[in-house]
């Protein structure tokens, strides 16, 4: 009887171990939810998003990729020496105070500095997973390793946003989508040499996106 219980416990232990060592049995889409947009208040140090009469400072040694999707009234602006600003159609920057999106107490004479620190690809807070039906996955149901793109996932960077992402290690994916455009290993490598790509994706890591498929119903481990 004692030996039987030991065997049962051992069997259950093996099942539990396999559940934790497997990555997952389905292919998910992981969407990058952080951004370096101009109107992202988390990026500004000083007084939130710039308003009329504010001075805007980008340190000269900062490298930025910023998507601008709202009009802005700017009193004073110090550009970085290296980077890009992507303006949405119809967006205007001017000294005209009426263009400011801020109202009431948001107006004032402040100096705001843009924080250009890149996001880390492997930070689980930067991603939101969804299943094959497009339904968002609950983070409480996932292991940490499942909260970033794995070998068999699609990593998606949505339209009308920009990013500065550090890739300190090599990354294996099923598929990579940037602004609704598919990239494989070769085309993404070329993209990183363009004016836009070299600001958005930094670090020594290389992305391999070769449409890998997990055929094991119990799940496949991330490499």
Whether 175 and 127 share a structural domain: yes
The per-residue pLDDT for 106 is 53
Whether 200 and 131 share a structural domain: yes
Asked, for residue 171, whether it belongs to a domain, the answer is yes
Asked, for residue 68, whether it belongs to a domain, the answer is yes
Are 154 and 181 in contact, with CB atoms under 8 Å apart?
no
Domain boundary among 83, 114, 145: 114
Domain boundary among 87, 114, 141: 114
Whether 108 and 186 share a structural domain: no
Asked, for residue 200, whether it belongs to a domain, the answer is yes
Q: Which pLDDT tens digits describe the chain residue by residue (223 residues)?
A: 433 433 333 334 433 334 444 444 468 899 999 999 999 999 999 778 888 888 899 988 888 999 999 888 888 999 999 999 999 999 998 888 877 777 555 556 788 999 999 999 999 999 999 988 899 999 888 888 889 998 889 999 999 999 999 999 999 999 999 999 999 999 999 999 998 999 999 999 999 998 877 777 776 776 6
- Burial string for 144-158 (b: 16+ CB within 10 Å, else e) reads eebbbbbbbbbbbbe
Q: What's the rounded Cα separation, in Å, for the pair 41 and 208?
A: 33
The per-residue pLDDT for 61 is 87
Whether 145 and 175 share a structural domain: yes
Whether 124 and 205 share a structural domain: yes
User: Based on the number of CB atoms within 10 Å of its own CB, is 38 exposed (0-12), middle (13-18) or buried (19 or more)?
Assistant: buried
Whether 102 and 125 share a structural domain: no
Structurally, the chain folds into a number of domains equal to: 2
Whether 190 and 152 share a structural domain: yes
Asked, for residue 132, whether it belongs to a domain, the answer is yes
**pTM of this structure:** 0.82
Asked, for residue 13, whether it belongs to a domain, the answer is no
Domain region containing 57: 41-114
Q: What's the rounded Cα separation, in Å, for the pair 173 and 157?
A: 14
């Amino acid at each position: 009887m004692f030996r039987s219980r030991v065997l049962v416990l051992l069997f259950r232990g093996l099942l539990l171990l396999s559940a934790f060592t497997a990555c997952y049995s389905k292919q998910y889409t992981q969407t990058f939810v952080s951004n370096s947009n101009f109107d992202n208040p988390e990026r500004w140090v000083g007084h939130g998003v710039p308003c009329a009469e504010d001075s805007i400072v980008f340190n000269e040694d900062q490298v930025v990729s910023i998507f601008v999707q709202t009009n802005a009234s700017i009193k004073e602006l110090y550009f970085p020496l290296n980077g890009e600003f992507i303006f949405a159609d119809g967006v205007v920057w001017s000294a005209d105070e009426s263009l400011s999106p801020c109202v009431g107490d948001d107006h004032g004479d402040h100096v705001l500095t843009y924080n250009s620190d890149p996001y880390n690809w492997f930070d689980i807070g930067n991603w939101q997973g969804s299943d094959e039906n497009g339904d968002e996955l609950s983070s409480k149901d996932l292991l940490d390793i499942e909260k970033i793109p794995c070998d068999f996932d699609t990593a998606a960077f949505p339209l009308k946003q920009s990013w500065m992402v550090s890739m300190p290690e090599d990354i294996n994916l099923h598929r990579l989508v940037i602004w609704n455009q598919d990239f494989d290993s070769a085309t993404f490598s070329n993209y990183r040499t363009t004016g836009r790509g070299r600001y958005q994706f930094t670090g020594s890591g290389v992305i391999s996106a070769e449409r890998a498929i997990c055929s094991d119903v119990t799940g496949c481990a991330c490499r």
